Structure formats: C-alpha cells, structure tokens
C-alpha cells in the first residue's frame, strides 16, 4: 500500500505582521498551494489610515505608591495627670465663656445667663432692703433659714423652670456626642483613664451649676452682711445655716449631674438625655403630688429626686418640714439609691466605650 506524500511545512514571510493578515482569496483551480495566506478584514474599528508598524504594548502605570512605614516607640515625657485632666475640664468649662473650646450653642449660653441673673434676684432685693431700711421688707427678703432654703430648693421658679432645665442642657450631649461622633477615640488613645474621663465630665457639669446655684447663694449672704452692716455675732449665728444650705446645694448638684450623665451615657443624641432628666425630676414630683392629694399618701415622694432633696434639705438646714408621714432618713436612703444606680449605669456604659466610632 502506498503512503500519501507529505506536504511541505507552512512558512511565513520574514516581514509578516498579524495586522496585515487578510482573508484568503479563492484561488484559481490549478494554482499551486504555497502555504502563504493573506487575510483581509472586512470591517474595522479604525479609520484605516493609522500606522501600525510601530505598535507596541504599553505597560499600565501604577495608580499609587506604597510607602514603607516603620513605627518607632516614642521615648518622650508625658504631661502629668493633672494637666491631661485639666485639658478635659477647660474644654467644657471655658466653652461657656470663650471660643476655641467646646462649642456650646448660643441659646444655651443665653439661657444660662438669664438663669444666673434670675438667681441674683435675692441679692438685688437684699440691696434694695438695705437702701430702704424697712424692717418689714427685710423680713421677706433678708437672710433667714426659710429664705436660704428657698434660694436653693424653691419649687417655683427655681426647681421648675431653672435648675432642672440647666442640668438638662448641660448633660444633653456631654457624653452621648462622644459616642455618636467617635470623640472617645481622641480621649482613650491618650493616656487617659476612664475614671478621669468621667470625673472631669462630672466636675465640668457640676461647676457650671455651682456658679448658678452656690455662687449666687454666697453673694446673697455677703450682700446681707455688706448692706445691713452685720457684725461678727450675726455672722457666727447664721454661718452654720449658710454652710448647711451650701451643702444642700452641693447635694442637689450632685444628684442632678449623676442622673443626667447616666442618661447621656446610654444615648447617642442630646435630645433624649435632656428630656428624660426633666421628665424624671418634674414628672415624678407631679405624680407624687397627685397621689398625695387623692389618697393622702406621701410614700410616692420617695421616687421623686426633688422631694427627696427637699426633705433632706429641710432636715439639714433646720427649717419647718413639709413631709410629715415619714422620716427624712427614708428620703436620704432613696437619694443614696438613686445616685448609686445612676453612677452604676454611668460607669458601666463608659467602660464599654471603645476607641472607635460606635
């Protein structure tokens, strides 16, 4: 059996370019097969007059540059602990008076100014009493146990539209905004403990309230001495009453601040903590007042922060008590329980704050 003859291998011309390959034309019958093929594209994406002789494949340019980062330990000296705490304190405290610190809104500043001026009403009336010299007028506005008590715990207007609203405006976003905007990352990335963080926030809110409550109380007492020409005998007689009132004011500030900060720590906005604080202070008092009038039972006053503070303040200052059905020690125990629960919630929430945005 004869084997078929092997065909010669295909050979391409030395100047062959893939771009120049054309469609094979139908060769005439009888034409020799040389193995050289020429293809022609029927359609193309170019105009046809481009020069492809110098076509080359270009490598893509890198989009970015990778830098080699080498972290070295910083061996410098840290600022002392008091300076780090002072930076937190002044950030909140000085923001009330000047720019460059915490941006307190203008409505909040105006309200604080109005409340401060209103708290100076007793001072103005005492100065007026000294100018007139009327003993009857002095019995209404002069320094006494009842007037010192009313300066701090007066239900209207102080503890209805002044002091609770001040506390609500201050605690509204002091911690919740740190959780919302991730500002805690700036605090805890530094050598700042969570105890220092909470302490400085607490002191900042408390100092602003102290300027309104305790500073005006001290000015009221000093105005009596200056205008009425009081001597050392009067000062020795009334100074214990002033100290008792001052301590009662500190207790009020501590309670409002602890409850407010605990509410701010569980929220991510400034609206809920402020409204919740006002609702707790005024809502519980209204509820206890209604229950007392309907059922002649004062036991619900133990759930009201204001009434517990008022009852304990009456016992400390020594004025006539208005709560007759139970002892002031029950109010003190209720205050301790309220503050303990608020501080527990505050510490638990702050301990869970991370150094990233939540």
Report the b/e string of 280-295 with b at 16+ CB within 10 A. bbbebbeebeeebeee
- Asked, for residue 76, whether it belongs to a domain, the answer is no
Give the HSE-up count for residue 126: Cα atoms under 13 Å, Cβ half-sphere. Answer: 26
Q: Which domain holds residue 281?
A: 84-351
What one-character DSSP code corresponds to residue 57? P
Number of structural domains found in the chain: 1
User: No. of H helices and E strands in the chain?
Assistant: 14, 0
Q: Where are the beta strands (DSSP E) in the chain?
A: none
Q: Rounded to 10 degrees, what is the CA torsion of 305, 250, 213, 94?
A: -110
pLDDT in the model for residue 130: 85
The pLDDT value recorded for residue 57 is: 52
Query: Is 238 inside any structural domain?
Result: yes
CB-hemisphere CA count at 13 Å for 214? 17
User: Cα 21 to the chain's mean position, in Å?
Assistant: 74
In a domain, 152, yes or no: yes
Grouping H, G, I as helix, E, B as strand and the rest as coil, residue 320 is: coil
Cα–Cα separations (whole angstroms), residue 13 to 6, 8, 35 = 21, 15, 10
In a domain, 29, yes or no: no
CB atoms under 10 Å from CB of 91, counted, come to: 14
Is residue 133 a part of any domain in this protein?
Answer: yes
CA distances from 345 to 108, 120, 349, 352 (A): 26, 35, 6, 11
Assigned token pair, 150: 């009313």
pLDDT for position 165: 95
- The per-residue pLDDT string of the chain (358 residues; one tens digit each, 9 = 90 and over) reads 445 555 555 554 555 454 444 444 444 555 555 554 444 444 444 545 555 455 445 555 556 666 677 767 777 787 888 998 999 999 999 999 888 788 898 999 999 999 999 999 999 999 998 888 777 888 888 999 999 999 999 988 898 889 999 999 999 889 988 887 877 777 887 788 899 999 999 999 999 999 999 999 999 999 999 998 899 999 999 999 999 999 999 999 999 999 999 999 998 888 999 999 999 999 999 999 999 999 999 999 999 999 999 999 999 999 999 998 999 999 999 999 999 999 999 999 998 876 554 4
DSSP string, 278-290: HIIIIIHHHHHHH
Say how far apart CA 242 and CA 30 lie, in whole Å: 130
In a domain, 356, yes or no: no
The C-alpha atoms of residue 40 and residue 34 are separated, in whole angstroms, by 18
Residue 185 within any structural domain of the chain: yes
Q: Domain for residue 205, yes or no?
A: yes
What was the pLDDT predicted at 53?
52
pLDDT score recorded for residue 132: 86
Predicted pLDDT of residue 39: 45
Q: Does residue 157 have a cis peptide bond before it, meaning omega lies within 30 degrees of 0?
A: yes
């Amino acid at each position: 059996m004869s084997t078929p003859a092997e065909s010669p291998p295909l050979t391409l011309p030395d100047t062959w370019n893939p771009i120049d390959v054309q469609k094979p034309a139908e060769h005439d019958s009888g034409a020799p097969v040389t193995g050289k093929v020429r293809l022609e594209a029927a359609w193309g994406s170019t105009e046809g007059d481009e020069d492809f002789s110098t076509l080359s494949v270009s490598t893509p340019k890198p989009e970015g540059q990778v830098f080699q980062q080498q972290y070295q330990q910083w061996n410098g000296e840290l600022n002392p602990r008091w300076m780090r705490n002072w930076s937190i304190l002044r950030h909140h405290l000085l923001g009330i008076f000047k720019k460059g610190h915490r941006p307190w809104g203008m409505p909040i500043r105006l309200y604080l100014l109005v409340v401060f001026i209103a708290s100076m009403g007793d001072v103005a009336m005492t100065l007026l009493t000294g100018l007139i010299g009327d003993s009857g007028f002095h019995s209404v506005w002069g320094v006494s146990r009842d007037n010192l008590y009313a300066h701090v715990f007066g239900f209207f207007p102080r503890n209805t539209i002044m002091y609770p609203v001040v506390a609500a405006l201050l605690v509204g976003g002091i911690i919740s905004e740190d959780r919302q905007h991730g500002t805690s990352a700036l605090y805890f990335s530094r050598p700042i403990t969570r105890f220092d963080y909470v302490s400085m926030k607490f002191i900042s809110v408390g100092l602003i309230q102290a300027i309104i409550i305790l500073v005006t109380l001290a000015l009221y007492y000093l105005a009596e001495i200056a205008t009425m020409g009081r001597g050392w005998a009067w000062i020795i007689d009334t100074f214990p009453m002033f100290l008792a009132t001052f301590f009662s004011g500190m207790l009020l500030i501590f309670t409002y601040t602890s409850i407010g900060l605990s509410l701010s720590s569980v929220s991510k906005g400034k609206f809920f903590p402020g409204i919740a604080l006002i609702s707790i202070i005024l809502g519980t008092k209204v509820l206890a007042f209604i229950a007392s009038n309907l059922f002649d039972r004062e036991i619900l006053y133990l759930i009201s922060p204001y009434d517990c503070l008022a009852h304990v303040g009456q016992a400390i200052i020594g004025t006539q008590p208005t709560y007759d059905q139970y002892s002031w020690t029950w109010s003190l125990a209720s205050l301790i329980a309220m503050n303990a629960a608020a501080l527990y919630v505050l510490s638990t929430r702050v301990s869970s704050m991370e150094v990233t945005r939540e």
